[in-house]
Amino acid sequence: MPTRDDPDGGPDLIDLTDESPEAVLALFEERGWGDGLPLVAPTEARVSEMLARRDPDEEVAVLPPRFGRATCQALAVNAVLAGCAPAVFPVVTTAIRALAGDEVNLQGVQATTHPVAPLVIVHGEAVSTLGFNAGLGTFGPGVRANATVGRAVRLALLHVGGAYPGRGDQSTQGQPAKYTYCIAENSPESPWEAYHRWCGVDAPSAVTIHCGAGPHNFHDMESESASRILEKGASAFTSLGSNNACISEGECFVVLCPEHAATIARAGWSRRDVQSFLFERARLPVAVFRRAFEQRRWRPWMQEIRDVEQRIPMTDHPDNYRVLVAGGAGKHSCVIPSWGVTKSRTLPLDV
């Protein structure tokens, strides 16, 4: 049977003699589709309900390396497969729209040997109205909106974008975040302005995508000092194994738990202060970087430093630290290093 990669195209609709989940999964396995987990059958009725009033032919993006057209219909099919409720569909389309920005370099993200996965972050009113978990266990399982939106984005990247392992996605080891990777900002418990408004997005709700590694936890159960907490974040980020070590323009998302954020804010620190502190503290001597890497995508001023004992930053500008609050009770925060040659993007939620 022809597939949609054939120049002449293939069928939009496939007949299945059996509507059981096993039959759908067997078809997907046979075609080399899916993420290996059971799927919801994308019937005409379910896809129509997912689309609601959206134009099925609206092209949201063209996704490399397959260069498939991510129309609203194609994305609705993948949202159904992932188990999304129709209400969260605008989050899926916004995330895919964001991924299509030139600065994201999606072709590189999709095809690289690095285990990068797009993290979807939901901000604003949509967090509560659509049922996202911004609190305890925000990165983890248990809440449909987080789990299915991240999965729908991944399924679209697989099916429409063609990032099948070994056939488009060359990630050496992959990572669990390639199944689903979606959190929400905990604005009610954040001492600072909502992240999307700080980025200049004046909208009630928004979506950020960051193409990075998995989250690297740092804990501090005892400190009452902002610097003592953030020293641990700086330490977690100062790793020669991260792409940020050899690509200076990469960002680092710093996801603070509410308790750490409250302690830091009580000391009078702004989000900008957190960025500046991390920029100053997450450093290694030039000699260490040069011993570790012959090929460095660094700014010219970094390449020219002669004093090999000089400590230089893990990323070349304080703005590359992207700070927000998510999670619940406890004293665990995390840093999420970048793939490197990519920038995060924040867009207002599609309406």
Partner 1 sequence: MSIRIFCPEGALGVQPMRLSARPDLLAGRRIGLLDNRKPNAGVLLARVAQRLAQRTGASVSLALQKSNAAVRCETDLLDKLGAEADVVLTGSGD
Residue numbers of the site for partner 1 (CB under 8 A)? 3-5, 7, 9-19, 24, 33-34, 41-44, 47, 59, 62, 66-71, 73-74, 77-78, 81, 105, 107-108, 112-113, 155, 159-160, 170, 172, 294-295, 297, 339-341
Shortest distance in whole angstroms from residue 348 CB to partner 1: 24
Q: Which two tokens stand for residue 215?
A: 């989250």
**What whole-number distance in Å separates Cα of residue 237 and Cα of residue 314?**
8
Shortest distance in whole angstroms from residue 157 CB to partner 1: 11
The closest of 140, 119, 122, 141 to 131, measured between CA atoms, is 122
Shortest distance in whole angstroms from residue 107 CB to partner 1: 6
Residue recorded with tokens 């599609």:
350
Output 118 or 233, the one with its CB closest to partner 1: 118
Output 216 or 296, the one with its CB closest to partner 1: 296
Q: Judge whether 204 and 350 are in contact, CB under 8 Å.
A: no
**What whole-number distance in Å separates Cα of residue 132 and Cα of residue 239?**
32
Residue 305 CA, distance from chain mean position = 34
**What whole-number distance in Å separates Cα of residue 221 and Cα of residue 30?**
50
Shortest distance in whole angstroms from residue 211 CB to partner 1: 11
- Residues 6+ positions from 215 with CB-CB distance below 8 Å: 139, 255, 334, 335, 336
The terminus-to-terminus CA distance of the chain in angstroms comes to 37
Output 113 or 129, the one with its CB closest to partner 1: 113
Output 105 or 148, the one with its CB closest to partner 1: 105
List strand residue ranges (DSSP E) for 131-290, in order. 182-184, 205-212, 216-219, 252-256, 283-285
Shortest distance in whole angstroms from residue 341 CB to partner 1: 4
Shortest distance in whole angstroms from residue 258 CB to partner 1: 35
The closest of 77, 75, 115 to 99, measured between CA atoms, is 75
Output 170 or 270, the one with its CB closest to partner 1: 170
Output 32 or 188, the one with its CB closest to partner 1: 32
Q: Which two tokens stand for residue 279?
A: 């920029």
Output 147 or 156, the one with its CB closest to partner 1: 156
The DSSP secondary structure of 295-323, one letter per residue, reads --B--HHHHT---TT-EEESSS-GGGEEE
Shortest distance in whole angstroms from residue 237 CB to partner 1: 20
Shortest distance in whole angstroms from residue 188 CB to partner 1: 37
Q: Which two tokens stand for residue 105?
A: 């370099």
Output 172 or 300, the one with its CB closest to partner 1: 172
**What whole-number distance in Å separates Cα of residue 108 and Cα of residue 313?**
24
Shortest distance in whole angstroms from residue 35 CB to partner 1: 11
Q: Judge whether 341 and 149 are in contact, CB under 8 Å.
A: no
Output 114 or 260, the one with its CB closest to partner 1: 114
Q: Where on the phi/psi map is residue 105: left (φ > 0), alpha (ψ -120 to 50), or beta?
A: left
Residue recorded with tokens 């990075």:
212
